[in-house]
Amino acid sequence: MHVPDGFLDAPTSVATGVVAAVGIGLALRGARRELDDRTAPLAGLVATFIFATQMLNFPIGAGTSGHLIGGALAAVLVGPATALLCMSVVFLVQCLLFADGGITALGTNIFLMGIVTVVVGWAVFRGLQMVLPQRVSSVPAAAAGAALVSVPVAALAFVGLYAVGGTVDIPLAGLTAAMLSVHALIGLGEAAITFLAVGSIVAVRPDLVYGARRVLATRSLVLRTAGR
Amino acid sequence: MGAPHGHKLHFHGHSWLHRLPAHVKLVALVAFMLTVVATPRDWYPVFAGYFLMLVALVAISHVPPTYLAKRMVVEVPFVVFAALLPFVATGPQVEVLGLSLSEQGLLGAWGLLVKGTLGVLASLLLAATTEPGALLAGLERLRMPPLLVQIMGFMIRYLDVVTDELRRMHVARESRGFSARDPRQWPVIAKSAGVLFIRSYERGERVHLAMLSRGYDGRMPR
């Protein structure tokens, strides 16, 4: 859920806004490296994809459903810098055109669900890639790990922000426990769906997956002759 | 988990508020909301003043109040959270209707509700009176980096195309007897997400080529 106006006090909102602005500034440079002059149309379409994916509901049972945050998924699919730009634009559009998430909490939302999930997701993904066998088939597993870790870390970051700039005193131990247990579950769902989605993309167009490029580059052509 | 997105919030009109340049409205929205957030939550008359101000603006804009009211559903998640606050917050307790509630929590819930609601209402009013194109121009005038403006422009332009694609895939799934009830159906839905990514990415590549063939050099023509 998006942080609304008035949830965190003004200094914290402004501080996260500055962090988000710096993060976007760095990502603007990085995205040029990942996509060169294709940045604008491709990042725009990927942002639209992320927005649409957040509308895709996954049934949990008993009539309830959830949806992806998509930070780790985006980082694996298009690279961390482009992913950060896409996530930021998604939150900006949701805030300005759909009134979802407060305008003063925009920096907070970009920081928590954009920067934290993308950076943590990408770091975990690269870490797992070094450990797992260098095969295309291990890309979805690494992506799942990234999604699994990124969600509870974002929840922890929220608790940290709340401890600094929360407007209501809630016992922090209780808040931490509640946020972590709920988001560990959400993380499991995010991991399962990220695994399945990345798996289906890698099976059809592995060349589109940024996180698979390193593995694809080392793959050599194997000739199999029939009948032998 | 926000409420479903997917409908444009713009309400066509020609009021003074509609005609006001987008960058002025954006700056006003940010300034207004920062003031609201910084206002101590027990200054009750001041909040009444803020609310009356917004009501006056809604009246000027000729956007029907029911139109805005329907779209206030995006605030449901944090209303639920606010309703829980009096039960979990610490501090002195008060007795309300036989329930022992935290005084701090009640005040906090009030603060969250009133500030959040003012925020949603003000943002809805901006969305209702500003066309997406004007919003982009406004952001550009406010010195948002051009690349970010371009990305946002493409996102807004293809928002309906991609969400329609998602809806067609949904109709296709359902018409083949698929119904999503529990996690056993996740592989199918996740594959739809995968296909949507491939289609979106390839559309991006086609758009880029189309732009190059029309002389695109990294900057948008005016």
**Separation CA B178–CA A11 (nearest Å):** 49
Structure confidence at residue A122 as a pLDDT band (50, 70, 90): very high
In a domain, A91, yes or no: yes
Last residue in a domain, options B93, B123, B138? B138
Q: Does B69 reside within a domain?
A: yes
Read off the amino acid at residue A191.
A
Which of B138, B164, B199 finishes a domain? B138
Chain B hits for A99, CB-CB cut-off 8 Å, are 9, 71, 74, 120, 123-124, 127
Residue B186 lies in a domain: yes
Same domain, B71 and B149: no
What is the band of A61 on the pLDDT scale with cuts at 50, 70, 90?
low
Residues B127 and B155 in one domain: no
Report how far residue A44's alpha carbon sits from residue B122's, in angstroms, rounded to the nearest whole number.
26
Q: Is residue A120 part of a domain?
A: yes
Helix (H, G, I), strand (E, B) or coil at A17: helix
Contacts of A42 in chain B (CB under 8 A): 201, 204-205, 208
Query: Of A126, A120, A153, A123, which is closest to residue A138 (Cα–Cα)?
Result: A126
User: How confident is the model over B80-136, as pLDDT tens digits?
Assistant: 877 877 777 766 777 666 666 777 778 888 888 888 889 889 999 888 888 888 888
Are B163 and B132 part of one and the same domain? no
Show which of B78, B104, B138 is a domain's final residue: B138
Comparison of pLDDT for A110 and A55, the residue scoring more: A110
What is the pLDDT at residue A118? 94
Does residue A204 fall inside a structural domain? yes
Residues B134 and B150 in one domain: no
Of these ranges, A89-103, A114-128, A213-227, the one predicted with the greatest mean pLDDT is A114-128
Domain identity same for B121 and B105: yes
- A84 domain-assigned: yes
| Residue B98, domain extent | 16-138
**pLDDT cut 70: percent of chain A above it:** 96
Q: How many Cβ atoms sit within 10 Å of the Cβ of residue B76? A: 13
CA distance B106 to chain A (A): 9
**Which of A25-34, A147-156, A177-186, B33-42 is predicted most confidently?**
A147-156
Give the residue with greater pLDDT, A55 vs A119.
A119
Residue B75 domain-assigned (yes or no):
yes
Query: Is position B4 within any domain?
Result: no
Whether residues B151 and A170 touch (CB distance < 8 A) is answered with no
CATH value at residue A85: 1.10.1760.20
B161 and B59 assigned to the same domain: no
Q: For Cα atoms A48, A94, B5, give the angle at the middle one, nearest 5 degrees.
A: 75
Q: Tell whether B80 and B176 lie within a shared domain.
A: no
Confirm whether A192 is domain-assigned: yes
Which chain B residues touch A48 with a CB distance below 8 Å? 154-155, 158-159, 161-163, 200
CB atoms near residue A1 (< 10 Å)? 14
In a domain, A186, yes or no: yes
Question: Can you tell me which residue has the tokens 């101000």?
Answer: B53
Supply the pLDDT for residue B222.
63
What are the residues whose beta carbons fall under 8 Å from the beta carbon of A68, sequence distance 6 or more?
A53, A54, A56, A58, A190, A193, A194, B193
Instruction: Give the DSSP per-residue string, chain B.
Output: -PPP--S-------SHHHHS-HHHHHHHHHHHHHHHHHS-TT-HHHHHHHHHHHHHHHHHHT--HHHHHHHGGGGHHHHHHHHHHHHH--S-EEEETTEEEEHHHHHHHHHHHHHHHHHHHHHHHHHHHS-HHHHHHHHHHTT--HHHHHHHHHHHHHHHHHHHHHHHHHHHHHHTT----SGGGHHHHHHHHHHHHHHHHHHHHHHHHHHHTTT--SS---
- Average pLDDT (A108-134) is 91
Please provide residue A223's backbone torsions phi and psi, each rounded to the nearest 5 degrees: -100, 125
pLDDT of A144 above 90: yes
Query: Which two three-digit tokens encode residue A32?
Result: 């040029």
Q: Are B143 and A34 in contact (CB under 8 A)?
A: no
The long-range contacts involving A52-55, CB below 8 angstroms and separated by at least 24 positions, are: A52/B162, A52/B163, A52/B165, A52/B166, A52/B196, A52/B200, A53/B193, A53/B196, A53/B197, A54/A90, A54/B2, A54/B5, A55/B4, A55/B5, A55/B6, A55/B163, A55/B166
Asked if residue A161 is part of any domain, the answer here is yes
Q: How large is the ipTM?
A: 0.86
Cα–Cα dist A147/A67, whole Å: 13
CA distance B86 to B104: 7
Kindly state whether residues B152 and B134 are assigned to the same domain: no
User: Which of A:107-166 have CB within 8 Å of B?
Assistant: none
Q: How confident is the model at residue A124 (pLDDT cuts 50, 70, 90)?
A: very high
Is the pLDDT assigned to residue A7 strictly greater than 70? yes
Average pLDDT over residues A10-39: 86
Residues B208 and B122 in one domain: no
Domain count, chain A: 1
Size of chain A, expressed as the number of residues it contains: 228
In a domain, B98, yes or no: yes
CB nearest A7 (choices: B107, B112, B156): B112
Residues of the domain holding A120: 10-218
pLDDT tens digit at each of 222 positions of chain B = 333 343 467 777 788 888 888 899 999 999 999 888 888 888 888 999 999 999 999 888 888 888 888 888 877 777 887 787 777 776 677 766 666 677 777 888 888 888 888 988 999 988 888 888 888 889 989 988 888 898 898 898 898 899 899 999 999 999 998 887 778 888 888 899 999 999 998 888 898 899 889 988 777 766
User: How many domains does the structure of chain B reveal?
Assistant: 2
Residue A128 lies in a domain: yes
